[in-house]
Structure 1
Amino acid sequence: MNDWSLDFASMLAYNLLIALLPIAVTFFGIFGLVMGNDAELQNKLKNEIINAFPADNTTQSGITQIVDLAFKQLSKDAGFALAIGILFSMFGASRLFIAIDKSMTIIYRLKERPLLKQYLLAMGMIFLLTITITLMIVASAVPTGLLSILPGANSRAGTYIAGLVVSLCIAFLLFELIYFIVPNKRMTLKTTWCGSLIAAIVLEIFILLFPLYVKHFMGNFSGVIGFAVILLLFFYYFATILILGAQINAFFFEHIQPLKTEIGSFLNTNVCDEPLLHTNECDTFQFWKRCCRRKRRVHEDHDT
């Protein structure tokens, strides 16, 4: 809490909202270039993406508008213009992963990447996200296929459970990719699996409960403003889950201790002997090192 976890969640929620349309344009553009202009396949793709969001009318109608807007934008362009449009959309969507990178820098007490490396990382994550979304769409068809082969009440229950398991595995993969790649240090599956699994489980529970929350507590929200508020709330809780998983990995596997005071007070009281105004030449990593050395000296003086 003291290292501004909920503030980072708010920042990520805003970036998710802003990056939603560029991500949609990027994904559909790349998908169209690879798979061609198959109208039936595109409609199936649109429906699967819309159904991946919580099943309340306001959220899904808003997502439908964004998806239709992305397709409309892509249908206007062709060839070189389409490629340029995708590149600009990727640039806009990259701000989301740069924001995640900055959050991980604080959570793991790491050196911040140079700006160029941040954008390269973000572009790579966008391609991985595109692949992950494609896997989600393919995997979501598995329970439906089973249901058509095995009709009946028992098979329906089994298919529903199978759908939850598939969704859980995909959520785990999504979080694992973020926790494994984004932090600016060498990560292993041993140090990331726990946070990914917990985040995936919490996300699945949240997706099941969120429509009920919207129905009972946000029923008066409607229209474009209502959609924006509900979607921003959804992204805020999603970002909170993302930060929670990272904090679990950092605390239990990297042994990074939480701050005992708010981060502003920590930075003010744990700098070296110079005032905070004179630390502009230090990057984040060096600043954390200085703070830690300062704390060690204080503890050593206290022990003696």
Structure 2
Amino acid sequence: MLYQTQSCIIQTAVQSIRFECCDIVDQDRHNPTSINESQPRTPDQVEDPPPVFSIEAQATCNYMRALPTTRIIGGSAARRGEFPWVAMLLKNGAYHCVCNIMDHNHCLTAAHCFAETTPFDAYEVIAGKYTYDVNEVEAGQHRIPVTTYIVHEAFNSDRKENDLAMVRLSRSLTWSSYILPACLPSVEVQLPLFCVVAGWGEIQGGRTPEALMKVEVQAYDSDRCLQVFSGTASAELSRYVNQNTICAANGLLGGKDACRGDSGGPIMCVQLTKSGAAAYFLFGTVSNGNQCAQPGEPGVYMDVRDYLAWIQRVILTSR
């Protein structure tokens, strides 16, 4: 999954999170400052996720209990339960891709994770999973067969356009500290400067990780991505970047990225909920990139904000 060249965690002031999420309008003017870390707070009333999926409820996100308190420099293992919406997608009993829990019965992932010739029953989802070993049964995990999946109707496998798919589970998930749906940003919310990618894909040296990994990256909208990386990235970058994508990288330095096995996984950015608490919101899903963590080569992600209507329609019509 995540390639990294460093491995440390730096405590950061939460006001800089507030500043990044609410006040930034130009990434070039970003200048985080240091403040009291106690400011982000738990919502006054933490609610259960709604029984029926709705974009409005996911954007309000009063049910999120895992609050971000640190900035990640380099890469590291996530804490168990830190990202309770992140789940494993298995194919023929082996780890295959990452998916993101939307509601009791649906997970969002990448369209390219599915092959037309593979039957639905070859796929399973493990929610509440932490370690890479799919045969290690962890307390609170749910391993559920996939009953069907819906690939975006405009998916182009050659250009990776509309690289999204919705997985429907054969039975419902039960919410817990380790299993919750993702918060989704509103369409008008601006992309923050720093975000986090998580998954079980390859780490440095082509190894598989022992557990779910996370890494902080800098995020770019599509126009800014092409502007910043046009002189360093492969010629194929413009083939994959469009108005429905975002990019992420460690600036031009490389060393931090999603990698093989992270497809469908989340890029998550901190936002304040309407109750004033800081929470991770799912801004995108891993689609593709040129090798892993190469200098001047960003990863490309589907921009979830552009697919909110599709997500809601597919979930509500596949019940």
Q: Which has the higher helix share?
A: 1
Greater RCO, 1 or 2 (C-alpha within 8 Å, sep 6+): 1
Task: Please tell me whether Structure 1 or Structure 2 has the larger radius of gyration of its CA atoms.
Answer: 1
TM-score by length of 2: 0.24
TM-score by length of 1: 0.24
